[in-house]
A = this chain, B = another copy of it.
Amino acid sequence: MKILNTKSFSVQGFKAWGIHSGIKQDGKKDLALIHSDRESSLAGVFTRNRVKAAPVLLDMVRIKSGKGQAIVANSGCANACTGKRGLANARTMADITARELGIRPDAVYVASTGVIGPLLPMPKIATGVSMAAGLLSATGWEQAAEAIMTTDMYPKLAAVREEIGGKTVTVAGIAKGSGMIHPDLATMLCFVVTDALISPPTLKKALLASVEGSFNSITVDGETSTNDAILCMANGAAGNKKLAPGGKDLKKFQACLDAVTRTLATQVVRDGEGATKFVEITVKGTKSPKEAKHAAMAVAQSTLVKTALFGEDANWGRIMAVLGRSGVDMDEARTDIFIGKAKIVEKGLASGKAADREAAAALKHRDVQITVDLHKGKSGATVWTCDLSCEYVKINAAYRS
């Protein structure tokens, strides 16, 4: 598998672009378009929040077909909690896009991110879609990625290439964070495109598996948004033999897809609002992977653990306290905790000054690993999070102003 330069890659049959349409006040890009030259298999994963934004409601109906050809997305306005007018606006946004691209309206998927409540400024959307359609480019991915940013500090892209069944297949994606990040998804948009030929059901299965180990294994602040959506389009332009379940070609494709979703998911965490640390938390020694993930996620969500990480303080007592309240089957007297390679807790007790010093040194790095071994079973899971800094509070105290 070859990792591509995110500045200049292309995916056969796809074009993308992003522009400033005027939704955002600050002149930054706010409208992205992705277009395939042919109808594609399309799979998606959406927020499990009971309050779903209008574009999510629209996409959830359209995706039943398993097909699609374009994605239009805006930032600066979530089009959530906007009632019937919001739903009509999402539909109109798709209609405008279909007209500009000369495709069926049903083949257009819509995504929005930004403040909840306000209605979309439809005249701006119409002008913006027209502008973006005119600028679509095979290498316009960075522009598209910039146009879906909200509080993100940088655009998020990933692209890999692999020989599959004698053909060159590319899998690439863009994503945005960076608050409200938590499984099941986040205020998180992610669009993955590939030129692989794959049926809608097989694509859906591959995407679900990929999301479990990537976007559903990260948390920034424990919030699940109304707008979360991951869409994956596969247009078959690579000309490969259709990827079949159980085959080694599908396995190769899955590895590519996993590389892209994991890269994007970890980028979302690295760029978590106010983050100064990227933290990998592994819980092992549980009876099931699910239990391990639940415990790891409890640690990853703890505000006290996250503030200690921000303070570069090896306060393992807080980790132990979270494990204890998480509901995981554990026994304090069997629990080991590592920070980096330092075994700071052995069988429930502090290891001593030397381990403390080693852990303190590990915490000075931007990337930090926390490992917990509960010694109760043979399963484990890894999740990713960031620290909780003053900057997070400042960003979110002033978000709408």
* A residues at B contact (CB < 8 Å): 48-52, 78, 80-83, 115-118, 179-180, 221-226, 301-304, 307-308, 310-311, 313, 315-318, 320-325, 327, 330, 332-333, 345, 348-350, 388-390, 392-401
Q: Is the interface of A mostly helix, strand, loop or mixed?
A: loop
Shortest A213–chain B CB gap in Å is: 22
Shortest A173–chain B CB gap in Å is: 24
Across the interface, which residues of B come within 8 angstroms of A327, CB to CB? 50
Excluding A50-B325, A51-B323, A51-B325, 12 further A-B contacts by CB distance (< 8 Å) are: A81-B320, A81-B345, A81-B349, A116-B318, A116-B321, A222-B301, A224-B325, A226-B320, A303-B388, A308-B397, A311-B398, A315-B400
Assess the B396–A393 pair: CB atoms within 8 A.
no
- Top-7 shortest CB links A-B: A116-B317, A311-B397, A51-B324, A307-B396, A49-B324, A50-B324, A390-B390
Across the interface, which residues of B come within 8 angstroms of A118, CB to CB? 350
Known: A81-B348, A221-B304, A393-B393. A321 touches B398 (CB 8 A): no
For this chain, the copies found in one complex come to: 2
Q: Report the bound CA distance from A399 to B308 in whole Å.
A: 8
Across the interface, which residues of B come within 8 angstroms of A397, CB to CB? 307-308, 310-311, 313
Q: Report the bound CA distance from A324 to B46 in whole Å.
A: 14
Q: Report the bound CA distance from A397 to B332 in whole Å.
A: 25
Q: Report the bound CA distance from A352 to B324 in whole Å.
A: 45
Known: A83-B348, A307-B393, A392-B307. A317 touches B117 (CB 8 A): yes
Can you spell out 13 A-B residue pairs with CB atoms less than 8 angstroms apart? A50-B323, A50-B330, A50-B332, A51-B330, A81-B317, A81-B320, A81-B345, A115-B317, A116-B316, A180-B321, A223-B303, A304-B396, A307-B392
Among candidates B303, B320, B396, residue contacting A396 with C-beta atoms closer than 8 Å = B303
Across the interface, which residues of B come within 8 angstroms of A398, CB to CB? 311, 313
Q: Which residue of B lies closest to A333 (CB)?
A: B83
